[in-house]
């Protein structure tokens, strides 16, 4: 469990540091840069997740004796557990970010989206309806739920792929495990 916590919290902390970097460089304080920040967050966040899941799964594999099988299922389980912890910690850290560090971030996001809808030629009544719905989804509890759900979903997808490469059969020359 310690390995899962270490790598899950590491992924969440790296994502939080990315948010801080985007905040201090002005990407999370300027309406015109918010969409670019979303692209950067998605790409860098994906890389952080892949690296964290791979390293965490390798660390968990190293803890299992060579005489024991570390198959696809165990590798997948390790990746999913890391993703679950990363998502839980990430949801908490996002609430801290939007509630304490950058409380105007959600409003900035809505303004950026409204500007995109205006540029796309939506009518004012359509924009008002969409803006109302968007504001409902900006509630902290709903955001935390989305972070948790999609974090685990994408972490599982990443783990499904990485587990195929990180599995390890038991070695034949290793002594059998001792059963107490």
Residue 153 has pLDDT above 60, yes or no: yes
Q: What is the pTM for the complete model shown?
A: 0.88
pLDDT value of residue 175:
58
Q: CA–CA separation, 53 vs 55, rounded Å?
A: 6
Rounded to the nearest integer, the mean pLDDT of the chain is 92
Residue 180 has pLDDT above 90, yes or no: no
Give the tokens for residue 63. Answer: 């803890």
Give the tokens for residue 175. Answer: 């002594």
pLDDT value of residue 23:
95
Which residue do the tokens 């107490």 mark?
180
Residue 121 has pLDDT above 60, yes or no: yes
Contact 64, 3 (CB under 8 A): no
pLDDT value of residue 158:
97
Q: CA–CA separation, 157 vs 140, rounded Å?
A: 25
């Amino acid at each position: 469990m310690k390995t899962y916590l270490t790598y899950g919290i590491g992924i969440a902390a790296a994502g939080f540091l990315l948010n801080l970097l985007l905040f201090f460089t002005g990407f999370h304080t300027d309406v015109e840069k918010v969409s670019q920040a979303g692209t950067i967050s998605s790409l860098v966040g994906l890389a952080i997740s892949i690296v964290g899941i791979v390293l965490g799964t390798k660390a968990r594999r190293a803890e299992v004796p060579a005489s024991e099988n570390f198959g696809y299922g165990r590798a997948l389980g390790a990746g999913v557990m890391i993703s679950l912890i990363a998502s839980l910690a990430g949801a908490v850290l996002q609430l801290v970010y939007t509630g304490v560090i950058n409380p105007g971030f959600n409003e900035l996001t809505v303004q950026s989206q409204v500007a995109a809808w205006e540029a796309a030629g939506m009518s004012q009544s359509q924009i008002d309806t969409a803006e109302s719905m968007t504001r409902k989804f900006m509630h902290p509890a709903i955001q935390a739920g989305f972070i948790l759900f999609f974090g685990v979903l994408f972490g599982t997808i990443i783990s499904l792929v990485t587990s195929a490469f990180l599995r390890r059969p038991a070695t034949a020359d290793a002594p059998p495990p001792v059963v107490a």
